[in-house]
Structure 1
Amino acid sequence: MYGVCPDDWDLAQKLITGGCDPLPRRRCLSRASPDYNKPFPVNSSLWGQPSDANILWSHYKCKGYSCLVSNETRDRRGFFKCADCFDLSKRGWEIPSTESVSAEFTIDEGHPFNEVIALRGLLPLYLSIGSRLPFFDNTLDIIHSTLFLDGWIGKELLQFVLFDWDRALRPKGLLWVDRFFCPKEVMKLYLDEFASLSYKKLLWKVVPKTDKDGDELFFSAVLEKPIRR
């Protein structure tokens, strides 16, 4: 009989962010939360607060969902600038467009993005930015990147990402880039890479990032993939 696997997802995440793919587990079976409950039905899970019992909290500083969204725990929950990522009472379209929200975190002080996404009835993809998307060519209606890409990414890696997104998007599909930010002196370099796709510009906007005194800029765009024959 096989035993239960150790709770070592943090090690796998270190490998993924370092550009390595963890090998499949062997000779052990996956571990669940001790008090696991059946998730909410799909029609009520999208904007419903997930149950604390369905998340393994062992590697998080927060030990309950309320900790992720409370202002009182901001200094001790292990991440910052991301309360709205988990606040489901404040739906995405209600977040002010001027509000700066980031998903910055460290390996050992993370937060349960994948668990919460799955408990909301959506499909989380757990892979590194340098991985090929697990979708067939010309199949996706839309790719939406929000506060994911920013000025930390090198030109070569950005090219890889954009070419792979182009591969997966169907003709006339939409690429929605939401609040890409970087120092203003290098913004043109990134804009040139997005423009090199030769997509139709349905929206193309650059504005100052207000919390950085104008030293950084936000770039948002909605781009339509052309039909190439």
Structure 2
Amino acid sequence: MKTILGTFLVAITLLASCVPAPVVRMQAEEGQPNEWNYGKQVIVNRSGGFETRVFFDTYTKKHLIFDVEIINRSKDTVLVSPENFYLEANTGATTHTRYALDPESEILNVEIKRSREEANSKTAALVAGTALVAGAVALAASDNNGGSSGNDDDVDVVPFTYIDISPVVPPVVATALPPDRLFWEDYSLRKTTVPPGYKVVGKVVFERFDEARSFKLKLPVDSTELAVGFIQQIIKP
């Protein structure tokens, strides 16, 4: 009887894992200026000497990813800090505030995780006790470059910084997604000082919230808070 029950539970678990994952779609709330760029609905907001262009880019099982562009049309140099961006999620009954993930913290977490994995790997090799493994561990220790691994030598890191204002071009397509370190280093909008006449562009990530009917994405810049609204649609195949 226990065997039959166990088999039944395993079958139920396997069937549950075969259920199609919900699909996320976003559209601009009514009344907001917007334009289309290669299939992406871009919401435009101009306020306080700044201009922002935002569109919903993509999603993962855990995250919502927006593409954010902020143009400094003021006379002052400003600091853009994505960790201060936040979503006001409206479920219809309650409102929840969720802050963007901080790229610098995410990169640090990846480095800490990698350092621990390297340490665990070396410990396991030492426990094995063979001369060959011990030699390999010693070589790895001597080659340690203080935080970066050999695999990173082939990565061309080009973080978004200042970009001259230019005509509309196709949006950047990320070849990596969070929590991949490459995403945070190459595609995310990172903390940047933006002089007058320049702009900063990048991906901003929030934790997914399927229960929300709509979102207000708020972007504090200097003393101005730029806001754009999205209607969320969760499609269950």
Could you say which structure has the greater relative contact order, defined with CA pairs below 8 angstroms and 6 or more residues apart? 2
TM over 0.5: no
- Structure 1 or 2, whichever has the larger Rg, is 2
What is the TM-score with the length of structure 2 in the denominator? 0.20
What is the TM-score with the length of structure 1 in the denominator? 0.20
Please state which structure has a larger fraction of its residues in strand.
2
